[in-house]
Amino acid sequence: MRIEHIETYVAHNWTFVEVTTDTGIVGVGESTFFGFPEAAASIADAFGRSLLGTDPMRAEHHWLSAYRAKSMRGMAIMGAISAIDQALWDIRGKYFEAPVWQLLGGQVRDGVRAMPVLPTGTVEEVAEHATAAVRAGFSAIKVLLFQDEHHDLRYGARIDDLVRRARAVRDAVGWDVDIAIELHRNLSPGDSPLLINELASMRPYFVEDPCAPDSVMSFAEVASKVSVPMAAGERNTSIWEFREYLEHARVAFVRPDVGVAGGITHVRKICAIAEAHHAAIAPHAVPSGPVATASQVQLGACTPNWDAQEHRAQDGSPWSDVVENVARIEDGYFVIPDLPGLGISLDHEGLKNTPPLDKPPTAHLKADGTVALR
């Protein structure tokens, strides 16, 4: 079996890669480098040309060949590698007529716990969203606690409002629900510990990204001053970066994204490193598309320390427009598919009718015109 054709598609803010073999088997993968999807597509096209005529079963070899080529790094490159790698695992599963999780050691759980990300809004609206998620059967929820308007509040008022928001969510759902708190890189090592220590009484599942992912040392500074579980990793791309967060920054939950952290081949290794540190996996999955979500369900099915998978409903447009079927949720858990490969395929007609987003990335400006942290 040989790789005969590789095609890339950009729809919404997703990059999809399809790898076709000379036997007719087609594999699909996704890059989640959502800020610049065309960049990942261009790089995937370049890598694809070097893969023509090669054996698609050599996923590890192809991963290393792409990663070591030119000694370049970055999320666009890793997004391309990640998408191709998922597609190669999809091909492998279809060749052996088995789901990917079966090829990675078999199920360790009966369902993959989903953790919906609540919509933002007022304190009352967010609390209502939390209650609705629990009524829908979810046992874990994630709150985007810090919103853009918090940049325009003075320090004391900002901390007060953020704590009130977290308390309102906890009061709404009680103690039987895990609440993950996302600070989304909007604070600094100097001001985030005060907030996190005040949030401790709400017993958060974890607090994520209190500062920008520019420095493991800065994150470690925050972690050393707080007592709650900390999470990081959605903007990181390699086992070497994750190793440093685990060894030096006291991260209790690591958050790899299969669409930028090296696909199934590499995320599997990240999970193993985390397991060796008794750390859990809570993968990044928003605003991922449906193929990356399907890939992460495969990993969640067979990875012991995979704890809760971030989620935003994908059973409507544009997610359901670009694939034949989306990952299914029942009673708060992703259903583990038994179809060969990833269990998902592209809808080419839907792709034609789902244009790329025409929305250039912009930073938030504070009241004095300076660029806010993010």
- Helix, strand or coil for residue 179? strand
Please give the DSSP secondary-structure letter assigned to residue 363.
P
CA distance 327 to 343: 9
Tokens 């009061």, residue? 171
Distances, alpha carbon 60 to alpha carbons 73, 145, 233, 265, 281, in Å: 18, 39, 22, 7, 22
Backbone angles phi, psi at 22, to 5 degrees: -70, -10
- At residue 327, the 3 state secondary structure works out as coil
CB 90 within 8 A of CB 100: yes
For residue 176, how far is the Cα from the chain centroid?
25
Please name which of 293, 331, 285, 312 lies closest in space to residue 117, comparing C-alpha atoms: 312
Q: Which of 184, 266, 277, 278 is catalytic?
A: 184
What is the spatial order of strands in the sheet that 333-335 belongs to?
309-311, 111-116, 333-335, 329-330
61 carries an active-site annotation: no
In angstroms, the CA 310 to CA 325 distance is: 19
Strand bridging mode 140-144 / 206-208: unpaired
Q: What is the CA radius of gyration of the chain?
A: 20
Q: Is 277 among the residues known to form the active site?
A: no
Nearest CA to 258 out of 85, 44, 28 is that of: 85
Looking only at the bridges linking them, the beta strands covering 333-335 and 178-182 are: unpaired
Q: 12, 62, 151, 284: which is the annotated catalytic residue?
A: 284
Q: Which residues carry out catalysis?
A: 184, 284
